Structure 1
Amino acid sequence: MSIDSDILIIGAGFSGIGFAVQLQKLYPQATYEILEKADNIGGTWWVNTYPGCGCDVASHFYSFSFELNPDWSCKFAPQREIADYLLGVARKHDIPRHVRFGSTVQSAVFDEITGTWVVTYVDETGSLQQKRSRVLISAVGALSVPRECEIKGAERYQGKIFHSAKWDHSFDWAGKEVVVVGNGCSATQFVPVMSEGPDKVRNLVQFSRQPHWLAERPNPTYSRTFQLMMRYTPLAMRLYRFYLYAMMEKDFFGFYRESGGRIRENLKRTQLEYLKRTAPEKYHEALIPRTEIGCKRKVQDTGYLACLHRDNVELVHSDGIEEITETGVRTQSGREVNADAIILATGFQTQQVLYPMEIVGDKGVTLNEHWEKLSSGSAQAYYGTCVSEFPNFFILMGPNTTTGHLSVIYSTECEINFSLRVLRPILRSLYPSKIWSAITYPFSGLFNPAPNTVAVTSIAEQADNNWIQKAASQLVWATGCSSWYVDARTGRNTMLYPDWQFNYWLRSIFIPSRDFVYGRSPVRLPAEGKESRDQRRDRRLVGAGLGLVAIVVGLMVHGSQIDLDLNGELGKGFKEGLNRVRNECLARLCSPGIGWKG
Structure 2
Amino acid sequence: MTTTSPNVTAENNSGCDLLDDALRDANIPTLIAVLVHLTGDDKWLRAPYAPKRARGLDDNDDGGLPDEIQTEIRMALRCAVTEYDAGLLTTTAPSAERVTEILSAVLHEQVPVEYGPLLSEELGITSRSVALTAQPAESGFSVGVIGAGMSGIAAARELQASGIRYEILEKNDGVGGTWFENFYPGCGVDTPSSLYSYSFAPKSDWSRYFAKRNEVSEYFEDTAETAQILDNVVFGVEVTSATWDDDNRIWTVIGRTRSGERIERTYSVLISAVGQVNRPSIPELDGIDTFQGVAVHTAAWDTSIDVTGKNVVVIGTGASSMQLVPAIADAVGSVTIFQRSKHWVLPHPNYQRPITDEVKLANDLIPYYTRWYRLRAFWNFGDRLHDSLQIDPDWPHSDRSINKTNESHRVFLTEYIKQQLGERQDLLDVTLPTYPPYTKRPLIDNGWYATLTRSNVHIVESSVTRVTETGVVDSDGNEHPADILVYATGFKIQQFLYPMEVRGRSGRSLRETWGPDDARAYLGVTVPDFPNLFILNGPNTFAGHGGSAILATEFQLRYALQGIERIASGAAASVEVRQEVCDDYNSKIDAMMDAMIWSHRGTETYFRNSAGRVVVNSPWKYIDYWRWTLEYKSSEYIEKG
Question: Does residue 457 of the first structure (1) align with residue 600 of the second (2)?
Answer: no
Match of 2:548 among 401, 407, 424: 407
Does the C-alpha gap of structure 1 residues 315 and 454 become closer, same or farther in structure 2, counting only changes over 3 Å? Answer: same
Match of 1:387 among 516, 522, 527: 527
Give the equivalent residue in structure 2 for 1:368: 511
Match of 1:484 among 574, 591, 606: 606
- Looking at structure 2, the residues matched to 124 and 160 of structure 1 have their Cα atoms a distance apart, in angstroms, of 24
Q: Structure 1: where are the runs of 5+ without partners?
A: 430-449, 521-598
Question: Does residue 309 of the first structure (1) align with residue 450 of the second (2)?
Answer: no
Match of 2:485 among 329, 337, 342: 342
Question: Does residue 18 of the first structure (1) align with residue 162 of the second (2)?
Answer: no
Deviates more, 1:253-262 or 1:87-96: 253-262
SS at the partner of 1:154? coil
Question: Does residue 63 of the first structure (1) align with residue 213 of the second (2)?
Answer: no
Give the equivalent residue in structure 1 for 2:314: 180
Contact 1:3 1:133 in 2 (8 A): no
SS at the partner of 1:363? coil
Can you list the C-alpha shifts for 1:246-291, whole angstroms capped at 9, x where unaligned?
Answer: 1112011211111861221111111111111112312111111111
- Looking at structure 1, the residues matched to 310 and 316 of structure 2 have their Cα atoms a distance apart, in angstroms, of 19
- Looking at structure 2, the residues matched to 98 and 335 of structure 1 have their Cα atoms a distance apart, in angstroms, of 53
Give the equivalent residue in structure 1 for 2:562: 421
1:434-453 alignment, distance < 5 Å: 450-453=571-574
Contact 2:333 2:456 in 1 (8 A): yes
Deviation at 1:323, TM superposition (A): 1.0
Does the C-alpha gap of structure 1 residues 252 and 458 become closer, same or farther in structure 2, counting only changes over 3 Å? Answer: same
Contact 2:160 2:229 in 1 (8 A): no
Contact 2:495 2:517 in 1 (8 A): no
Question: Does residue 214 of the first structure (1) align with residue 358 of the second (2)?
Answer: no
Can you list the C-alpha shifts for 1:417-463, whole angstroms capped at 9, x where unaligned?
Answer: 0100122222233xxxxxxxxxxxxxxxxxxxx32111110110111
Contact 2:518 2:615 in 1 (8 A): yes
Deviation at 1:5, TM superposition (A): 6.1
1:194-233 alignment, distance < 5 Å: 194-196=328-330, 200-218=331-349, 219=351, 220-233=353-366
Read off the aligned partner of 2:284 and give its amino acid letter.
Answer: E
Does the C-alpha gap of structure 1 residues 3 and 303 become closer, same or farther in structure 2, counting only changes over 3 Å? Answer: farther
Question: Does residue 258 of the first structure (1) align with residue 392 of the second (2)?
Answer: yes
- Looking at structure 1, the residues matched to 532 and 332 of structure 2 have their Cα atoms a distance apart, in angstroms, of 51
Question: Does residue 191 of the first structure (1) align with residue 325 of the second (2)?
Answer: yes
Deviation at 1:321, TM superposition (A): 2.1
Contact 1:3 1:134 in 2 (8 A): no
Read off the aligned partner of 1:469 and give its amino acid letter.
Answer: D
1:37-186 alignment, distance < 5 Å: 37-186=171-320
- Looking at structure 2, the residues matched to 371 and 311 of structure 1 have their Cα atoms a distance apart, in angstroms, of 47
Question: Does residue 284 of the first structure (1) align with residue 428 of the second (2)?
Answer: yes
Can you list the C-alpha shifts for 1:101-134, whole angstroms capped at 9, x where unaligned?
Answer: 1100000000111100000000243201100000
- Looking at structure 2, the residues matched to 503 and 24 of structure 1 have their Cα atoms a distance apart, in angstroms, of 29
- Looking at structure 2, the residues matched to 253 and 10 of structure 1 have their Cα atoms a distance apart, in angstroms, of 36
TM-score, length-normalised on structure 1?
Answer: 0.80
Give the equivalent residue in structure 1 for 2:18: none
SS at the partner of 2:412? helix
- Looking at structure 2, the residues matched to 4 and 283 of structure 1 have their Cα atoms a distance apart, in angstroms, of 64
Give the equivalent residue in structure 2 for 1:528: none
Deviation at 1:54, TM superposition (A): 0.7
Give the equivalent residue in structure 1 for 2:126: none
Question: Does residue 331 of the first structure (1) align with residue 465 of the second (2)?
Answer: no
- Looking at structure 2, the residues matched to 124 and 178 of structure 1 have their Cα atoms a distance apart, in angstroms, of 31
SS at the partner of 1:364? coil
Does the C-alpha gap of structure 1 residues 50 and 4 become closer, same or farther in structure 2, counting only changes over 3 Å? Answer: farther
Deviation at 1:363, TM superposition (A): 2.1
Read off the aligned partner of 1:18 and give its amino acid letter.
Answer: A
Q: Structure 2: where are the runs of 5+ without partners?
A: 1-137, 394-401
- Looking at structure 1, the residues matched to 354 and 506 of structure 2 have their Cα atoms a distance apart, in angstroms, of 55
Deviation at 1:377, TM superposition (A): 5.6
Deviation at 1:3, TM superposition (A): 8.6
Contact 1:486 1:493 in 2 (8 A): yes
Give aligned-pair identity as a percent.
34
Contact 2:494 2:517 in 1 (8 A): no
1:468-547 alignment, distance < 5 Å: 468-480=589-601, 481-488=603-610, 490-520=611-641
Give the equivalent residue in structure 2 for 1:244: 377
Give the equivalent residue in structure 2 for 1:432: none
Contact 1:162 1:343 in 2 (8 A): yes
SS at the partner of 1:277? helix
- Looking at structure 1, the residues matched to 193 and 186 of structure 2 have their Cα atoms a distance apart, in angstroms, of 16
Match of 2:169 among 28, 35, 43: 35
Deviates more, 1:239-248 or 1:376-385: 376-385
- Looking at structure 2, the residues matched to 349 and 419 of structure 1 have their Cα atoms a distance apart, in angstroms, of 25
TM-score, length-normalised on structure 2?
Answer: 0.75
- Looking at structure 1, the residues matched to 440 and 185 of structure 2 have their Cα atoms a distance apart, in angstroms, of 24
Does the C-alpha gap of structure 1 residues 342 and 4 become closer, same or farther in structure 2, counting only changes over 3 Å? Answer: farther
Does the C-alpha gap of structure 1 residues 174 and 265 become closer, same or farther in structure 2, counting only changes over 3 Å? Answer: same
Match of 1:234 among 367, 379, 382: 367
Question: Does residue 298 of the first structure (1) align with residue 442 of the second (2)?
Answer: yes
Contact 1:272 1:288 in 2 (8 A): yes
Deviates more, 1:12-21 or 1:498-507: 498-507
SS at the partner of 2:142? strand
Can you list the C-alpha shifts for 1:54-98, whole angstroms capped at 9, x where unaligned?
Answer: 111111111100001110111111011010001000000111111
RMSD of equivalent CA atoms: 1.5
Contact 1:5 1:33 in 2 (8 A): no
- Looking at structure 2, the residues matched to 254 and 54 of structure 1 have their Cα atoms a distance apart, in angstroms, of 27
SS at the partner of 1:362? coil
- Looking at structure 1, the residues matched to 208 and 446 of structure 2 have their Cα atoms a distance apart, in angstroms, of 14
Deviation at 1:485, TM superposition (A): 0.6
Read off the aligned partner of 2:146 and give its amino acid letter.
Answer: I
Deviation at 1:148, TM superposition (A): 1.8
Give the equivalent residue in structure 2 for 1:580: none
